[in-house]
């Protein structure tokens, strides 16, 4: 039994040695492999959710994303909807948004880019307040807090 | 007892040490240069050579002197400093600031670090998604690569990751070495369970809020890497917590206690890695026959991994990070690197040789990128 334990210990140690030897040369392959696991995607609370609608305007594109209510188990009562403006943006952005795609406007958002001001006018009682409103590498993004 | 008869020194002759260092020399050369050394950039070439030679000299000295910790600490501390430098430089180049903005969060551009891992597990299980605003693949410090590196290192080294792989541990390790003697000598061993409480707290809060709460509110290393832009009371409070914890647990307490207090009392990943010490083949063993219970090992252990009771029982606790400080301090060589299954006191040199090869190879290759970047930047100032 003692000899079996010693042999098993040495075998495990040598296996670990081999694992370290292949780790760095194979890192890209291992990383690609692990990235295919079903849980290897960023949570919508951080990405802002999938795009629901794209509206191409004169100089920019408005992207309305699907509302995010994701919680640990099921959905939360409070969430947000992310709006992206991509391209050459005007100095003042002013848009009326229908985030639930029911053909009725839900809120009006007005962003002054130079002074970084965001004014929200809710037209739907589910719309609460501005969460994030920030310039991005592609233009501007705003997250509006909403209720279910 | 004649310690030289029963407890052979780990020292080797010059020639034998060279022989043991040769495989590391060749493998690190291939891994660090990618097998295709590019000599077109003089500063880059010099930086690679300096890093490669420096590391291999340290590895050679580990064999030649039979000591581990002081040589490990050099690379470990340099790694921590270099990583912070590289990260800050990278952020200054990309964002012109050490802080990240809301846009970086919205665009999921935050570099991933292994401290997020304990918070990822529950949300990954329940929501099948990662609660960190980084990139899954590609880009700087992506989630997949860091997860693979941590997973393999933890499987192989257990909590040894905390002394041979963590790019933050070098900070409090460095500060804990500044004074020769501790000012605060008595700290209750119960504190070593604190990281488990932190782990539980951050795992639950992160799962409920679906945000990495430790990174958002606690992590002391935000002070030397990146932090949220201060735009209001909340972000100012966060910055205050980061700086206070960094000064308290990474600078002041390590200096006063000669212990790695952040790693011992706060780090949730350290708690998780402690559990992985049960899986790894490598361990630190106490040969009760050779031990005279001087408890020097208890005094020098930077992570409170050893208590007098542990020594009397001949078992090192799960908190051990295999740094080698106790091994080097033991004049009777009663405490030594071992492999599970091999009885304490047997095959000491064999066990140490395999452990050193594995752990050193990991830190050498893992740290090389950051160290090369720093040395290259220094050379660029002069060339």
pLDDT tens-digit series, residues B96-106: 777 888 898 99
Answer yes or no: do B86 and B126 share one domain: no
**Which residues of A are less than 8 Å from B210 in CB distance?**
43, 45, 70-72
Q: What is the mean pLDDT of each run of 10 residues along chain B (383 residues)?
A: 52 92 95 80 90 96 96 97 89 80 90 93 96 91 94 96 96 96 91 96 96 94 86 91 96 97 96 95 96 95 95 95 97 95 94 97 96 92 79
Check residue B227 and give its pLDDT: 79
Domain final position from B223, B246, B280: B280
**Which residues of A are less than 8 Å from B148 in CB distance?**
23, 27, 30-31, 34
Answer yes or no: do B153 and B195 share one domain: yes
- The total of structural domains in chain B comes to 3
Closest CB from A23, A39, A47 relative to B152: A23
Nearest to B158 by CA among A99, A13, A30: A13
Can you give the CATH number for the domain in which B302 is found? 3.30.70.20
- Among chain A residues, the shortest Cα distance to B154 is held by A16
Answer yes or no: do B222 and B368 share one domain: no
| Contact check, Cβ <8 Å, A42/B129 | yes
Answer yes or no: do B116 and B214 share one domain: yes
CA distance B112 to B132: 8
| Contact check, Cβ <8 Å, A72/B282 | no
Check residue B33 and give its pLDDT: 85
Closest CB from A21, A27, A134 relative to B148: A27
Q: Burial, B367: exposed, middle or buried (Cβ in 10 Å; 0-12, 13-18, 19+)?
A: buried
Domain final position from B280, B295, B322: B280
CA distance B223 to B154: 26
| Contact check, Cβ <8 Å, B343/A2 | yes
Please spell the DSSP secondary structure of A82-113, one letter per residue. EEEEEES--SEEEEEE-TT-SSS--EEEEEET
- Among chain B residues, the shortest Cα distance to A29 is held by B145
Domain range for residue B10? 1-94+347-383
The nearest CA of chain B is from the CA of A115 a distance in Å of 14
Nearest to B291 by CA among B264, B258, B331, B261: B331
CA distance B246 to B230: 17
Please give the ipTM for the structure prediction.
0.90
Among A46, A75, A89, the residue to mutate for chain B (most B Cβ within 10 A): A46
The nearest CA of chain B is from the CA of A71 a distance in Å of 7
Q: Which residues pair with A145 in a beta bridge?
A: A80, A129
Check residue B8 and give its pLDDT: 62
Strands (DSSP E) contained in B122-231 are 227-228
The nearest CA of chain A is from the CA of B185 a distance in Å of 37
Answer yes or no: do B231 and B311 share one domain: no
Among A3, A4, A7, A9, the residue to mutate for chain B (most B Cβ within 10 A): A9
Among A2, A3, A10, the residue to mutate for chain B (most B Cβ within 10 A): A10
Nearest to B177 by CA among B335, B298, B70, B270: B70
Answer yes or no: do B139 and B271 share one domain: yes
| Contact check, Cβ <8 Å, A45/B211 | yes
Closest CB from B106, B211, B357 relative to A134: B106
The nearest CA of chain A is from the CA of B300 a distance in Å of 27
Answer yes or no: do B244 and B267 share one domain: yes
- Among chain A residues, the shortest Cα distance to B340 is held by A9
| Contact check, Cβ <8 Å, A43/B129 | yes
Torsion, CA B361, CA B66, CA B83, CA B318, rounded to 10: 80
**Which residues of A are less than 8 Å from B361 in CB distance?**
20-21
pLDDT over 90 percentage in chain A:
95
**Which residues of B are less than 8 Å from A30 in CB distance?**
148, 152
- Among chain B residues, the shortest Cα distance to A2 is held by B341
| Contact check, Cβ <8 Å, B108/A73 | no
Check residue B5 and give its pLDDT: 40
Answer yes or no: do B291 and B371 share one domain: no
Interchain CB contacts (distance < 8 Å): A and B: 144
The nearest CA of chain B is from the CA of A66 a distance in Å of 15
Strands (DSSP E) contained in B8-156 are 99-100
Answer yes or no: do B202 and B261 share one domain: yes
Long-range contacts of B348-351 (CB under 8 A, 24+ apart): B348/B8, B348/B10, B349/B8, B349/B10, B351/A13, B351/B282
Answer yes or no: do B35 and B60 share one domain: yes
Q: What does the pLDDT look like over B37-68, one tens digit per residue?
A: 777 888 889 999 999 999 999 999 999 999 99
Among B128, B213, B281, B369, the residue to mutate for chain A (most A Cβ within 10 A): B281
**Would you give the DSSP letter of residue B49?**
H
Answer yes or no: do B357 and B325 share one domain: no
The nearest CA of chain B is from the CA of A76 a distance in Å of 11
List all residues 6 or more positions away from A6 whose beta carbon is below 8 Å from its beta carbon: B341, B342, B343
Q: What does the pLDDT look like over B146-169, one tens digit per residue?
A: 999 999 999 999 999 999 999 999
Answer yes or no: do B136 and B231 share one domain: yes
């Amino acid at each position: 039994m003692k000899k079996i334990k010693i042999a098993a210990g040495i075998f495990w140690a040598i296996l670990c040695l081999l694992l370290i030897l292949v780790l760095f040369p194979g890192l890209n392959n291992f990383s690609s492999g692990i990235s295919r696991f079903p849980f290897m995607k960023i949570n919508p609370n951080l990405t802002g959710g999938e795009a629901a609608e794209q509206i191409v305007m004169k100089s920019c594109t408005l992207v309305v994303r699907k509302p995010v209510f994701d919680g640990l188990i099921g959905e939360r009562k409070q969430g947000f909807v992310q709006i992206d403006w991509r391209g050459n943006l005007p100095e003042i952005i002013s848009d009326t948004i229908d985030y639930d795609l029911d053909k009725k406007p839900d809120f009006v958002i007005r962003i002054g880019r130079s002074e970084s001001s965001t004014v929200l006018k809710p037209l739907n009682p589910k719309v609460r307040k501005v969460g994030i409103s920030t310039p991005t590498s592609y233009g501007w993004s705003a997250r509006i807090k909403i209720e279910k | 007892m004649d310690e030289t008869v029963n407890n052979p020194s780990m020292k080797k002759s010059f020639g034998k040490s060279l022989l043991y260092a040769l495989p590391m020399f060749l493998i690190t050369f291939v891994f660090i240069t990618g097998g295709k050394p590019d000599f077109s950039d003089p500063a880059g070439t010099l930086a690679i050579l300096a890093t490669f030679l420096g590391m291999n000299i340290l590895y050679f000295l580990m064999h030649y002197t039979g000591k581990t910790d002081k040589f490990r600490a050099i690379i470990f501390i340099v790694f921590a400093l270099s990583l912070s430098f590289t990260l800050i430089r990278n952020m200054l180049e990309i964002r012109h600031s050490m802080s990240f903005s809301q846009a970086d969060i919205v665009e999921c551009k935050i570099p991933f670090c292994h401290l997020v891992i304990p918070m990822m597990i529950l949300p990954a299980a329940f929501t099948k998604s990662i609660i960190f605003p980084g990139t899954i693949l590609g880009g700087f410090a992506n989630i997949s690569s860091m997860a693979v590196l941590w997973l393999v290192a933890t499987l192989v080294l257990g909590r040894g990751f905390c002394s041979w792989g963590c790019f933050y541990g070098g900070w409090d390790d460095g500060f804990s070495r500044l004074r020769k003697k501790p000012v605060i000598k008595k700290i209750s061993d119960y504190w070593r369970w604190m990281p488990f409480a932190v782990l539980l707290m951050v795992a639950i809060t992160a799962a409920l809020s679906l945000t990495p709460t430790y990174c958002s509110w606690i992590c002391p290393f935000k002070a030397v890497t990146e932090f949220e832009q201060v735009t209001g009371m909340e972000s100012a409070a966060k910055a205050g917590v980061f700086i206070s914890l960094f000064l308290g647990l990474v600078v002041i307490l390590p200096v006063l206690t000669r212990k790695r207090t952040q790693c011992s009392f706060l780090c949730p990943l350290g708690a998780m890695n402690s559990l992985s010490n049960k899986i790894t083949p490598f361990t630190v063993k106490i040969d009760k026959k050779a031990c005279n219970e001087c408890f020097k090992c208890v005094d020098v252990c930077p992570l409170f991994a050893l208590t007098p009771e542990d020594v009397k029982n001949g078992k090192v606790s799960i908190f051990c990070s295999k740094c080698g400080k106790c091994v080097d301090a033991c004049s009777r060589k009663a405490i030594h690197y071992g492999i599970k299954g091999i009885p304490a006191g047997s095959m000491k040199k064999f066990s140490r040789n395999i452990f050193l090869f594995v752990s050193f190879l990991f830190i050498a290759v893992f740290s090389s990128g950051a160290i090369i970047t720093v040395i290259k930047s220094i050379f660029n100032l002069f060339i």
